[in-house]
Structure 1
Amino acid sequence: MTEPGTSAAGGTGTSAPGARVLVIDNYDSFVYTIVGYLQQMGAQTVVVRNDEVPADAAGGVDLSGFDGVLVSPGPGTPSTAGRSLEVIGACAEHAVPLLGVCLGHQALGQYFGATVGHAPQLMHGRTSELTHDGRSVFAAAPSPMIATRYHSLTVDPATIPACLDVTARTADGMIMGLAHRELPLHGVQFHPESVLTENGHLMLAHFLELCDGRDAVVRSKGLVPLMTAG
């Protein structure tokens, strides 16, 4: 487990207390870039691998002490992503704010009954224009906007359950965002941390504000991406 406020590079986050976010690392190279963004905006982060999730006395997922959860990108499918689906279930049970990114987004869809299958095209490091509904994590972001995609799987639009809203799509109908209608559970198929994604800090800041990170949007102003396009 990585200590709160510490990144892979050994840097520290802000000294001011902020939202405490559990980050589920699906064995992905992008996770510490996302963590860096969250820390820039005041979050305290604890990073655990998807098979090392905190457990309660009964063996269930223990989210006590956390204000929110981010389920990271990663290889494979939601069914092979360790305990990611269980984490989403615990967030749903306790109404803990969640953001799923890429694989985490697909896991959110699958948990509530949607089908995840192969995308028509392999999208690795490619950009797409998307439109969104302007709510929640997309608040104040322009629509359309450009986002960077790294995925070969996608949530099937025909299988979206009634409890989920599609919040963003590409021009060809690929789902780029999901949100639960009653719970603070959100997913984005694209990578907000990519240098080629517009408004990445802003979207993550709105997630942190769901987690009680009250000044995250203010902190996000003027921040620049931490990673290269590749």
Structure 2
Amino acid sequence: MRSRLLVIDNYDSFTFNLVQMFLQYDLDIWVFRSDKLALNQVSTLAPNYLLVSPGPKDPAHAGISIPIIREWHRQIPILGVCLGMQCINEVFQGRTVRAPIPRHGKVSAVHHDGQALFTGLPSPFTAARYHSLMVEVHAGALAVTARSDDGVIMGLSHPEFPLHGVQFHPESFMTETGFELIENFLRIGPLATPVRQAPRTVSPLTIH
């Protein structure tokens, strides 16, 4: 039986680029729009992993994203990308504010702590940024795991639970280490030895 990934899609053009990355691993994948899934439906899906996607707005307009992170972060590995990381931060009393300089389609050097998502990755590595908002972390709630060369927070993790976020886009061709980061995330859960495969002829993907 394959492990199951639940994807919360915040109506973003990058969501299915991320999904295509995960489709190269031994996973069944469900994708739900962030306003099309009720919290009480999630346990029926029995996910082993949760991905909260980027999005064009802010955490206040991210549907179920904040409630599902709050409800499930103690139980399964969660990865938030861009807006998804901002939602993680707001669950733990952080703030989402305007970045000093918007970065859309820009590449930055990302310096990190070498732990969890960043295990075995060079520091720095180059990564693609598409954001005009950034996070301010509530003291002691989450660990800052990565920053860009201009000092903006690029990674967050919970010190106790398998909850991780990145502000940059691992799915972009401009990000050097996207698949390595995805595999590190999968190792946190039941897919302890992820093996990247050729795309499958029968898609294990369900979209709602």
TM-score of the superposed pair, with normalisation by structure 1: 0.81
Superposed displacement of residue 22, structure 1? 0.3
Superposed displacement of residue 55, structure 1? 3.6
Higher mean C-alpha deviation, range 206-215 or range 190-199: 206-215
**What residue is the counterpart of 2:152 in the other structure?**
174
Structure holding more strand per residue: 2
Superposed displacement of residue 63, structure 1? 6.5
The answer on whether the counterparts of 1:164 and 1:179 sit within 8 Å (CA) in structure 2 is: yes
Give 5+ residue unaligned stretches, structure 2.
198-208
Higher mean C-alpha deviation, range 201-210 or range 68-77: 201-210
Question: Segments of 4+ in structure 1 off by > 2 A?
Answer: 60-64
**What residue is the counterpart of 1:105 in the other structure?**
85
The answer on whether the counterparts of 2:104 and 2:129 sit within 8 Å (CA) in structure 1 is: yes
Structure with larger RCO (C-alpha < 8 A, sep 6+): 2
Superposed displacement of residue 149, structure 1? 0.3
TM-score of the superposed pair, with normalisation by structure 2: 0.90
**What residue is the counterpart of 1:9 in the other structure?**
none
| Aligned residues between the structures | 198
Distance 2:159 2:95 in 1: 18
Instruction: Select which of 114, 136, 139 maps to 2:94.
Output: 114
Q: State the superposition RMSD in angstroms.
A: 1.8
Distance 1:138 1:219 in 2: 18
**What residue is the counterpart of 2:166 in the other structure?**
188
The answer on whether the counterparts of 2:38 and 2:64 sit within 8 Å (CA) in structure 1 is: no
The answer on whether the counterparts of 2:65 and 2:84 sit within 8 Å (CA) in structure 1 is: yes
SS of the residue corresponding to residue 43 of structure 2 reads: coil
Instruction: Select which of 16, 28, 32 maps to 1:32.
Output: 16
Instruction: Select which of 151, 155, 159 maps to 2:131.
Output: 151
Pair 194,46 (structure 1): closer, same or farther in 2 beyond 3 Å: same
Superposed displacement of residue 209, structure 1? 1.6
Which letter does structure 1 place at the counterpart of 2:71? Answer: A
Distance 1:99 1:147 in 2: 17
Pair 112,63 (structure 1): closer, same or farther in 2 beyond 3 Å: farther
